Each structure stands twice: as structure tokens, then as C-alpha cells.
């Protein structure tokens, strides 16, 4: 797998450890699962940088990416996940459901311009 082949940075190791034990706090700036206590921007990325790097490298036009670029992409992906989850949840609420379903996501993608790039990619 690409993740195994890629170099594992310290941040990636910390993020992986955090993913395995949600209750344990790892590293400076990271808090155990209680992300809501600390404002978003001050958290370090939870997505493993090695995996994000693998995605970046998958682009044949990209030669090199700085560590900072990979880190910012990871953070951006997190913000994206938060955003799309919230936007999809609106539809679940409309359907009086407390469980987010695939169709809520599809509705959000169709309705919101910024998600247009996702059309046709999730199947």
C-alpha cells in the first residue's frame, strides 16, 4: 500500500497513535478527542501526513511538494470533512433523522456549488 511505502513523519506517527487511542492525548497542541474545546485552527492535523502525501504524489504533474504544503492540505481536508458533514446534516434534519445518510450527502453535493467537483466521483 502506498501508505506503508511512504516515509512516516513524526506528525503522522502521532496522528496514527491518536487515531488508535482516542482517549489518549498525544503531542503538543493535540487534545484527546475533545476537539470542541480547542478552536479549530490551533489543532495540528489529525490526518496522517504520509497518506495525504501519497495522494499528492498520485498527481503525475506534481514534482515536489513542501512539508508545509502537505500539512496545509491535510488541514484543508479536515475542514472540508467538517463542512460537508454539517451541510449534509441539514438534509438529515429536514428528514427528521438523527443519522446522516448517503442521500443527505448526495443532496448537499447537488445543492451546493462548492461541491460540484464531487459530482460523479463518489460511486
Partner 1 sequence: MAERPEDLNLPNAVITRIIKEALPDGVNISKEARSAISRAASVFVLYATSCANNFAMKGKRKTLNAGDVLSAMEEMEFQRFVAPLKESLEVYRREQKGKKEARKDKDKKADSEEQDKSREEENDDDDERMEEEEQNEEEEVSSGRWWS
Of 122, 45, 49, 54, the C-alpha closest to 88 is 122
Nearer CB in complex with partner 1: 62/111: 62
Nearer CB in complex with partner 1: 81/111: 81
- State in angstroms the smallest separation of the CB of 89 from partner 1: 6
Q: 89, 100 in Cβ contact below 8 A? A: yes
- State in angstroms the smallest separation of the CB of 5 from partner 1: 9
- State in angstroms the smallest separation of the CB of 95 from partner 1: 13
Burial of 52 by CB count in 10 Å (0-12 exposed, 13-18 middle, 19+ buried)? buried
Nearer CB in complex with partner 1: 7/113: 113
Residues 6+ apart with CB under 8 A from 28: 44
Amino acid at each position: 500500500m502506498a501508505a506503508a511505502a511512504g516515509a512516516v513523519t513524526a506528525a503522522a506517527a502521532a496522528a496514527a497513535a491518536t487515531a488508535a487511542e482516542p482517549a489518549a492525548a498525544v503531542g503538543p497542541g493535540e487534545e484527546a478527542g475533545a476537539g470542541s474545546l480547542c478552536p479549530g485552527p490551533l489543532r495540528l492535523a489529525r490526518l496522517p501526513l504520509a497518506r495525504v502525501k501519497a495522494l499528492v504524489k498520485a498527481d503525475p504533474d506534481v514534482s515536489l511538494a513542501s512539508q508545509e504544503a502537505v500539512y496545509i492540505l491535510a488541514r484543508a481536508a479536515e475542514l472540508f470533512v467538517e463542512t460537508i458533514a454539517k451541510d449534509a446534516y441539514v438534509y438529515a434534519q429536514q428528514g427528521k433523522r438523527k443519522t446522516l445518510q448517503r442521500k443527505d450527502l448526495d443532496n448537499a453535493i447537488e445543492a451546493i456549488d462548492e461541491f460540484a467537483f464531487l459530482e460523479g466521483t463518489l460511486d
